[in-house]
Amino acid sequence: MANTYGDWLRQQRETAGLTQQELADIAVMTRSHIAHIEAGRRIPSKEDARRLDKALNTGDVLSSFLPTEEPAVADYFESVRQLEQQAVMIREFAQAYFPGLLQTERYARAVLSSVFPPVSEEECDRRVVTRLERARILEEPVAPVLWVLLDEALLRRPVCAEDVMAEQIMHLVGLAEAGRIRVHVLPFAVGLHPLLDGTLRLMWFDDQPPLAYTEGYGTGKVHDSPSTVRELQHRYDLALSDARPLKESLALLRATAKEYRHHD
Q: What is the pLDDT of residue 2?
A: 45
Q: Which residues pair with 93 in a beta bridge?
A: 149, 200
Q: Reply yes or no on whether the pLDDT at 134 is more than 60.
A: yes
Percentage of the residues of the chain whose pLDDT score is greater than 70? 94
Q: Residue 233's pLDDT is what?
A: 98
Contact predicate 105/125, CB 8 Å: no
C-alpha to C-alpha distance for 62 and 24, rounded to whole angstroms: 15
Q: State the pLDDT at residue 48.
A: 86
pLDDT of residue 202: 98
Distance CA 230, CA 244 (A): 23
At 158-210, the pLDDT tens digits run 999 999 999 999 999 999 999 999 999 999 999 999 999 889 999 999 988 99
Q: How confident is the model at residue 30 (pLDDT cuts 50, 70, 90)?
A: confident
Confidence at residue 145, expressed as pLDDT on a 0 to 100 scale? 95
The mean predicted confidence, pLDDT, of the chain is 89
Q: Does the pLDDT of residue 72 top 50, yes or no?
A: no
Of 81-85, 204-208, 253-257, give the range with the top mean pLDDT. 253-257
Q: Which pLDDT band holds residue 217 (cuts at 50, 70, 90)?
A: confident
| Sign, CA torsion 10/15/21/24 | negative
CB hemisphere CA count around 50 (13 angstroms): 3
CA distance 4 to 10: 10
